[in-house]
Structure 1
Amino acid sequence: MNKGYWVVAYRSVSDKAAMDAYGKLAKPVIDAFGGSLLVFSGDVVEAREAGLKQLTVVVEFSSYEQAQKAYASDAYLEALKALGNGAERDFRIVEGLA
């Protein structure tokens, strides 16, 4: 069973309070589903091609299915509600090679 990842590239953050509220709610969800935060980089980003120098987050889960379940959970949906329109981001759930 291959690992699963949340790969999130923020394009902009317009509401810091919404981001803070989201973070407080999202972290326990990640923990509950066995996720590990691998990358959380806001200042140390070298943007290339069409990339932007914004926050980048990578979370690793034990499986692709676990990553999907975490995203679909009621608790994570509450985190998304808290975020609202506070940020524009490219959020992907991807399957690892191993």
Structure 2
Amino acid sequence: MKGYWIAQVDVTNPEQYGEYTARAPAVFAQYGGRLLARGGRAQALEGRSTPQRSVVIEFASYEQALACYHSPEYQHAAQHRQGAAIVEVIVVEGLGTVEGMV
């Protein structure tokens, strides 16, 4: 089953955060990640207020999504994000099938 990164981001230092966004996509691609959403319009309908950026990345599997996050390459890129944004990242496993779902 596929794996997904879901990130909520509030950028506090755009210049420094730009260093992260210049590096991270290459790592996602290295691990087979595909950006499905990155910024763009968003509206909070329940829960916390809308973050500045919402990011969704699809991977071939949950394990691949975790491997990307924990990789030395991503951790190096993520150092450029530290102190430049308030970030929440979760990895979720996708559904194998949607048949029978309501």
Aligned residue number for residue 87 of structure 2: 89
TM-score for both structures, normalised by structure 2: 0.87
Aligned length: 95
Give the drift of 1:58.
0.1
Aligned partner of residue 83 in structure 1, secondary structure:
coil
2:42 is aligned with 1:45: yes
- Consecutive unaligned residues of structure 2, counting only runs of 5 or more, are 97-102
Runs of 4+ in 1 over 3 A off after TM superposition: none
**What amino acid sits opposite 2:19 in the alignment?**
A
1:2-21 superposed matches below 5 A: 2-10=1-9, 12-21=10-19
Which whole-Å CA distance do the structure 2 matches of 1:69 and 1:89 have between them?
Answer: 19
The alignment's TM-score, normalised by the length of structure 1, stands at 0.90
SS at match of 1:60: strand
CA drift at 1:6: 0.5
8 A Cα contact 1:25 1:75, kept in partner: no
Query: Conserved in 1, the CA contact under 8 Å of 2:8 and 2:51?
Result: no
Q: CA RMSD in A?
A: 1.1
The answer to whether structure 1 residue 35 and structure 2 residue 33 are counterparts is: yes
The CA deviation at 1:41 is 2.3
> Structure 1: where are the runs of 5+ without partners?
none
Letter in 2 for 1:5: Y
What is the percent sequence identity of the aligned residues?
36
